[in-house]
A = this chain, B = another copy of it.
């Protein structure tokens, strides 16, 4: 039996035990040694299965103590709201939603820039940028960088992607001012005013605003907290309307943190091929995975039609303003658009960042942050567990937020101004759709540590909302 099947067999057996509560929350699983003996498997095979279950959030590894059943408190109670499929339409975003979007970009119930500690990763990053600045000699400041960006940085980004199973050459990457800038370049390079773009619903509001500004039409495709964009629904949409592009976040789409399974990815690419679609992959959350980062959709792209957009904003620093794009068959046009709309990115900043990555600080930062994010998520899910029983919540394995579904009568949009009065910024569900759906849903972020103040803010939500 191939190694592949051995670990899958063990994984399935363990999964059944976890679902059937043979091992309960917080309980320790049998040791690796005893699993090896009982199942007649190698240590590597057993570890592989355990790590996969850890990545899925079932288990938590504690150094020198073994694997424990992790908190999945709301898992039996996932959100069930499903988006309607409406005709493609131009996007109009109301002033209220714009205001909320502006304030909610921080992802934080209680924005506080001064609180918390500077993580060691950011300290190392700042030192590296400072060194690059001090090394500056001659007349480098008198020249613009090339539009594609610093080669050393693109090499580091390519190495980083290679670890996820996507082999990319540095010349297929272009540095951008963050992921939103990359999404903008992707849409501008491939779509004409009036074109129809398929988006996840609920999905990222920044994409909806881009569609509005570029005069594109949106068609919303239902997306589930478990597996992301629904491929049956996408297929129905593609058969009914002429769609130019589809934008999806296979690795932890916001707001729910959904992870697209491999067979859905393959189906998406097959549909894209059949309907000659541009596929824009918003990969910004990949490095927020609670386990190993999943392979990008782009790694399966044999037809050169997936434009990957990524950034360090969610995994390292929102203030760095560095992202990237790999533009597939449209790459040359994207490079030119970056040149024309912005000329270049700062060379010394890229040099500092490249050194930070080459020295291994970024990988170490992502590892440390993973532990923190898991703890943040679990604390949020535990708190939501104390809410009334008809509250449903996604259990993300990555991303930075939980999608919460409240009873149908709740109006989260109406609760928004009441929240502001109490100093709490909520992110109402209708932000994540162009058609006013999800009025009884909201996104709650776990990007920030649950300080006493944030715990208090979270504690105010049931009274505010229910």
Contacts and interface: CB of A to CB of B under 8 A. Distances in A.
Interface string A353-373: 000000000000000000000
B140 A343 contact: no
Given A130-B133, A140-B319, A342 B116 contact: no
A348 B336 contact: no
A321 B340 contact: no
20 contacts: A105-B144, A105-B343, A106-B142, A108-B143, A111-B143, A113-B143, A114-B138, A115-B138, A117-B138, A118-B141, A126-B136, A141-B317, A143-B319, A181-B343, A184-B340, A188-B213, A209-B340, A213-B341, A319-B347, A321-B344
A345 interface: yes
A390 B201 CA distance: 68
Contacts of A107: 142
State the number of copies, please: 2
Interface string A117-145: 11000100010011001101111111111
A142 B369 CA distance: 13
A337 interface: yes
A73 interface: no
A177 interface: yes
Contacts of A348: 319
Interface residues of A, number: 66
Given A180-B340, A180-B343, A341-B184, A318 B141 contact: yes
Interface in A202-217: 206, 209-210, 212-213
Given A141-B318, A184-B342, A340-B180, A136 B113 contact: no
A339 interface: yes
A348 to B, nearest CB: 6
B143 A340 contact: no
Interface string A262-290: 00000000000000000000000000000
A104 to B, nearest CB: 11
A341 B133 CA distance: 28
A98 interface: yes
B340 A206 contact: yes
A193 interface: yes
Contact of A341 (B118, B140, B180, B349): B180
Contacts of A448: 139, 142
A346 interface: yes
Contact of A342 (B114, B122, B180): B180
